[in-house]
Structure 1
Amino acid sequence: MIIDRLFNEVEKKGNVCVGLDTHLDYIPVNLKEKYQDIDEILFEFNKEIIDKTYDLVPVYKLQIAYYEAYGIKGLLGYKKTIEYLRSIKKITIGDIKRGDISSTAQMYAKAHFEGEFEVDFVTLNPYLGFDTLTPYLKYIESGEKGVFVLLRTSNPGAKDIQYLKISPKDEYLYYIVGDKLNEIGVKYRGSCGYSSIGAVVGGTHVDEAKEIRNRYKNMFFLIPGYGHQGATGKDVSLYLNKGNGGVINSSRGIINAYKNYKDGDQRFADYARKAVLEMREDIQIERRV
């Protein structure tokens, strides 16, 4: 199962998920001058970072909005990147945050679990209802695909909806969502004990971290918020279980790391690798405490 693959990769390589949220402003001028088309620029930047980090990380996440913003050429860059990752047998997360129902959701599932945009995991938004997940279940049941469903996110506005108190238990809405995801996910657990239906849990809210981890012992987490959004290695480690059970995403902190160095434009991929190594050590130090 795909969740077993991810679990095993985390065991070997740690928890860092490299976010390839690639904006043209993030790309060195010399690389942009070397290639004419946007798809080539995006792909070559991504490829160099992948080639310098693939031995260090278990998974890569691509936020599709960064590619959609550049139209057809941008999406071609997205396609080339996920195809390259597949060719070197790396696990991919398409950060698409879809949340529709019925035939529309079927088409989203087909678009991102088959064909040119095929990835291993996608992110979903359940706040339209749990039937938003239904069209994806046949792919999850195959064992080849998984999803990360928004549970409790890292943005300040999360409290507008996710923290609403719901009767009869007077619990936060995100716990109601989490309990239902846990129930649905039982059927899709791998030999590692985790389900291929995971959750997105923002690492910036540490007060509830231990309760969330204990409550959802069999749920694998995608954890945003590290670095640029303020979460530390100590914070995100609270969402792990014996060093596994989650991957921690960093995007700008890794792909923009070169901007802190005088020779960064020429060595941007080297500095991305350095940022990954530093992040891994930060998380591992906290895991040892």
Structure 2
Amino acid sequence: MIYNMDKLYEAVEAKGPVCVGLDTSAEYIPPGELKRAASETEAILAYNKALVDATMDAAACFKVQIACYEERGLAGLGVYAETLRYIRERGALVIADIKRGDIADTALRYAKAHFEGDFEADFVTLSPYMGMDSVEPWLSYADSKGKGAFVLMRTSNKGMRDFEYRELKDGGRLYDAVGDRLSELAAARSGAHGYGAFGAVVGADPKSGAERDEAASIREQRSNLFFLIPGYGAQGGAADDAALLLRKGNGGVVNASRSILKAWMSGGGGGTASAETVAVADNRFAAEAAHRAAVEMRDAIRTAAKG
């Protein structure tokens, strides 16, 4: 079986570890494009396509957060489905950020919904906190279609320490227990490059001192888990933080959403766009800025990974 995780490893080798997050909001789109579009949902779809086309050469994959589309009802879900379809038709890999975590027959139905049909993606995100029976029903799609998943392990959000860092009676933290089970699962479905069909979400939040040692330890201990690494850019994570969770520049993808989606607002750099820039900006201008931001991110992480 050729797993999608093998394909993702090879995409990182070829293009670098950037994952472009399409958590697209209408407020990120140049005002002129919003005025010209028949609706905000159509404007979002056109914006997504423009940014996908522009960043294909600098992104190993794309991640689409379903909540940004669900909030717009049926029309939004149509844009979600079309965005997934467009990315895959362009030959790129896509992660559906859905964070499902139910069990048994419900999990099987979720798996069918997101690994087949209108919402088909190459990977999904899953929550394991109801137990491994919330993860296992998805495995049949790894076996039959090579599909993959990233399971929440040690995240980058403010509240991660509320539960993930709870000390266990037999030693270690809760996220360690999740990692142990995921490593066992990965060993049973190991791909051509040594990573399991399912990987883990491990955040690139800002680190110093002991936290850097912890990140390095997580990477060393979980050598067969491919990481989805959120927290870069707008969430405060830097290239050095992300590089700690890679292995020779691979073994993970680093997600950035707002810092790429909104790059046009400052021409891809710091500061705020002038009123004149906002007035004349269009999707082409935004896409060029997104490309610059993705390339700068890729190069910074590659440099940090070599250090």
Pairwise TM-score range, normalised by the shorter structure? over 0.9
8 Å contact 1:38–1:73 — kept in the other structure? no
CA contact 2:249–2:306 (8 Å) conserved in 1: no
2:282 equivalent to 1:281:
no
Stretches of structure 1 lacking an aligned partner (at least 5 in a row): none
Q: Return the letter of the residue paired with 2:258.
A: R
**Cα displacement string for residues 79-120 of structure 1 (whole angstroms, at most 9, x for unaligned residues):** 111111111110000000011111111111111000000000
Query: TM-score if structure 1 supplies the norm length?
Result: 0.97
| Kept in 2: contact 1:122–1:146 (CA 8 A) | yes
Whole-angstrom CA distance in 1 between matches of 2:14 and 2:204: 22
Match of 1:116 in 2: 118
Which deviates further from its counterpart, 236-245 or 142-151? 142-151
1:24: how far off? 1.1
SS in 2 for 1:156: coil
Are 2:143 and 1:138 aligned? no
Contact 1:38–1:74, Cα closer than 8 Å, also in 2: no
TM-score of the superposed pair, with normalisation by structure 2: 0.92
* 3-state SS in 1 of match to 2:237: coil
Q: How do 1:223-262 residues align onto structure 2 when only pairs under 5 Å count?
A: 223-261=229-267, 262=274
Shift of 1:222: 0.2
User: Residues 91-106 of structure 1 correspond to what in structure 2 (within 5 A)?
Assistant: 91-106=93-108
Match runs of 1:1-289 below 5 Å = 1-168=3-170, 170-204=171-205, 206=207, 207=211, 208-261=214-267, 262=274, 263=277, 265-266=281-282, 267-289=285-307
Per-residue deviation, 1:57:
0.9
For 2:306 and 2:124, the matched residues in 1 are separated by 31
Letter of the 2:186 partner, please give it: G
Asked whether the equivalents of residues 185 and 196 of structure 2 are also in contact (C-alpha less than 8 Å), the reply is no
Over the aligned positions, Cα root-mean-square deviation in angstroms equals 1.1
Give 2:271's aligned residue: none
Contact 1:39–1:75 (CA under 8 A) maintained in structure 2: no
Secondary structure of 2:84's aligned partner: helix
On the 8 A contact 1:148/1:199 being kept in 2, the answer is yes
Letter of the 2:14 partner, please give it: K
- 1:285 Cα offset (Å): 1.5
Distance 1:184 1:281 in 2: 33
The alpha-carbon deviation at position 142 of structure 1 amounts to: 2.2
The amino acid of 2:23's aligned partner reads D
- Counterparts of 2:234 and 2:40 in 1: how far apart (Å)? 26
The letter of the residue matching 1:260 is: S
Match of 1:247, SS? strand
Distance 2:100 2:33 in 1: 32
CA apart distance, 1:205: 5.7
Name the SS of the counterpart of 1:142 in structure 2.
helix
Distance 1:220 1:252 in 2: 23
Aligned length: 288
Displacement after TM superposition at 1:143 (Å):
4.6
**Cα shift at 1:41:** 1.3
Deviation at 1:270, TM superposition (A): 0.6
Task: Encode CA deviations 1:179-204: one digit per residue, 9 max, x unaligned.
Answer: 01111121211111111110000111
Q: Percent identity, please.
A: 45
CA distance in 2, matches of 1:205, 1:104: 37
Supply the AA of the counterpart residue of 1:58.
A
- Can you give the 5+ residue segments of structure 2 that lack an aligned partner in the other structure? 268-273
TM superposition shift of 1:288: 2.2
